[in-house]
Amino acid sequence: MTLAEVDAALTAPGSKFEIETIDIRGVPTRVWKNAPPSLALLAQAARTFGQRTFTVYRDERVSYEANYRATAVLAEKLRALGVGKGDRVALAMRNLPEWPMAFFAIVSLGAIVVPLNAWWTGSELEYGIADSGARVLICDAGRHARLTEHYGDLPELKDVIVTRWEEPLSGRFHRLEDIVGATGDWAALPDTPFPQAEIAPDDDATIFYTSGTTGNPKGALGTHRNITTNILSSGYTSARAFLRRGEMPPDPEPRVSLLVIPLFHVTACSAGLMAAIATGSSVVFMHKWDVVEAMQIIEREKVSFTGGVPTIAWQLLEHPDRAKYDLSSLDTISYGGAPSAPDLVRKIHEEFGALPGNGWGMTETMATVTQHGGEDYLNRPTSCGPPVPVAELKILSEDGVREMPAGKTGELWAKGPMVVKGYWNKPQASAETFVDGWVRTGDIARLDEEGFCYIVDRAKDIIIRGGENIFSSEVEDVLYAHPSVTDAALIGIPHRTLGEEPAAVVHLAPGSSASEAELQQWVRDHLAAFKVPVAIRFVDTILPRNANGKIMKRDLKALFAAEAA
């Protein structure tokens, strides 16, 4: 079936994926008719999964019923602290069972949850709390310790609730365990009435901070509809894959997911966690990514789904001890947040027998706009897939005036019910980025005749060498295809006459070897000479990434100080 035929079949009137057009902030927008109208209703519906395991962390297991009870009790405590509709509550912690519980307690009051980057320093966390105007903070012990010397500069922060903190707290500081107990106690909590708040689909729900590489991060103000859209988008793309191969889509079943990317990122929270909750699936957390521990968890918990960013898939594939573990339960390895090499797509299918998946989105789109999986992805490994039916894409010229035809590159613009309202308290930045329901993504892309999207590069990642444009992802894909390379990044280093030249940073697979000259020749054999890195540096670990999984290329510049000089 063609994509158009699949769309028509799956979105027909009366179907699960029926589409209607409504007005969102003055813009006619296609939406999923059957998406949950609010996160509060999603939390209540999830209770029907009862004793089925919801979250797993080390030896802690929390059922859906236990999570529901703790959510209701914490919501009542927040209400007693004065939290109401529109108030901001910051959430700063690692991936712990307390994270989704607190998230739903906040949004079920009609308040706005502000997930803060757990990797941030104390001053960065202080910025997020102050910028959002949060009146309450819920955090773990690590973030609390990091913020200790900053609390005095946050007079608007009225209360702080800390989990996994061993010592007594007083004043505006409270232990979460004194409110709901430890995770093992949640099942015995009283059946507290769930908070009743008037919440519309387009009411404010979240402020996720962007991972901007310049200046302070901006808070993207999201709605309940933004997030619940992802539930139907994920289900739709799964059903589409079955129809595309000529099979009837089965009813969704509970799965076990190993979630290793941070919940303070929209990919994990909006695309990963919400789809899991809607299907009664189990979500396994790790304290910190470790490939051996991940393989142990996959074997023990019979994990069927994992991923996040391409590096995770590469490490599972390349680890010399992989054969020691039973990873046969894996049927899907999916990722986003960073481009993936075509060779990775093939290897996932060949080595694991699993179907690869990827997609494209950004903080400003609350994750999913396009999704790609199954045979479509195997056949188009450099694409991030077509947009889901409620989304629209267009490619515009650099000046934002002319729409480019199929096959031509330009800036990617996206529209749909997943696009956030704008940036919190930043009207000028909002006006520049959000235009009549569309978001200017800053990504350079093209669309083919069927509507499949190909991200060529971030506009700022283009290296211009003597007037010739070098798309870094193109060179990185070639480097990834080398059998010894497991991580790679191309950056521009200054050149007196050419302006910039390309240089690469590479991490080799365990037990492999390759020289600078060998990799340069490898690129030369596949691409034009001007795209060959003039220098290659080898590092012993995977490359540094931000919370979204994107390589922090600015941190790699120092490796080429001599060339730049």
- What one-character-per-residue DSSP string does 187-219 give? GGS--PPPP-----TTSEEEEEEP--SSSS--E
Q: Are 374 and 355 contacting, i.e. CB atoms less than 8 angstroms apart? A: yes
- CATH 3.30.300.30 boundaries in the chain: 462-564
- CATH 3.40.50.980 boundaries in the chain: 40-47+66-199
Task: List the one residue out of 543, 523, 535, 541 whose CA is nearest residue 561.
Answer: 535
Angle at 259 between CA 195 and CA 341, to 5 degrees: 135
- CATH 3.40.50.12780 boundaries in the chain: 3-34+221-458
User: Residues near 218 by Cβ (< 8 Å), separated by ≥ 6?
Assistant: 209, 210, 212, 423, 424, 426, 429
Pairs from 123-127 (Cβ < 8 Å, separation ≥ 24): 123/150, 125/92, 125/150, 126/150, 126/153, 126/154, 127/216, 127/217
| pTM of the predicted structure, to 2 decimals | 0.86
CA 497 to CA 452: how far, in whole Å? 38
pLDDT score of 452: 96
First-last CA distance in the chain:
56
390 Rama sector, left if φ>0, alpha if ψ -120 to 50, beta otherwise: alpha
- CATH, domain range 462-564: 3.30.300.30
Task: List the one residue out of 71, 65, 61 whose CA is nearest residue 51.
Answer: 65
Fold entry, domain 3-34+221-458: Rossmann fold (3.40.50)
Q: Are 157 and 131 contacting, i.e. CB atoms less than 8 angstroms apart? A: no
Tally DSSP H helices, then E strands, for the chain.
18, 28
Cβ count near 185 (within 10 Å): 13
Q: Are 505 and 533 contacting, i.e. CB atoms less than 8 angstroms apart? A: no
Q: Are 56 and 96 contacting, i.e. CB atoms less than 8 angstroms apart? A: no
CA 100 to CA 228: how far, in whole Å? 15
Task: Report in angstroms the alpha-carbon separations of 374 from 303, 305, 349, 381.
Answer: 18, 14, 9, 10
In this structure, the strands spanning 536-539 and 499-508 are: parallel
Cα dihedral 380→383→386→388 (10° resolution): 120
- CATH, domain range 40-47+66-199: 3.40.50.980
Angle at 442 between CA 436 and CA 447, to 5 degrees: 85
Q: Give the amino acid at 15.
A: S
- pLDDT means per 10 residues, the chain with 565 residues, are 93 97 97 98 98 98 98 98 98 98 98 93 93 98 97 97 96 98 98 95 96 70 98 94 91 94 92 96 95 97 90 86 95 76 85 89 94 90 94 91 94 97 96 96 93 82 76 88 93 81 94 95 88 95 80 86 55
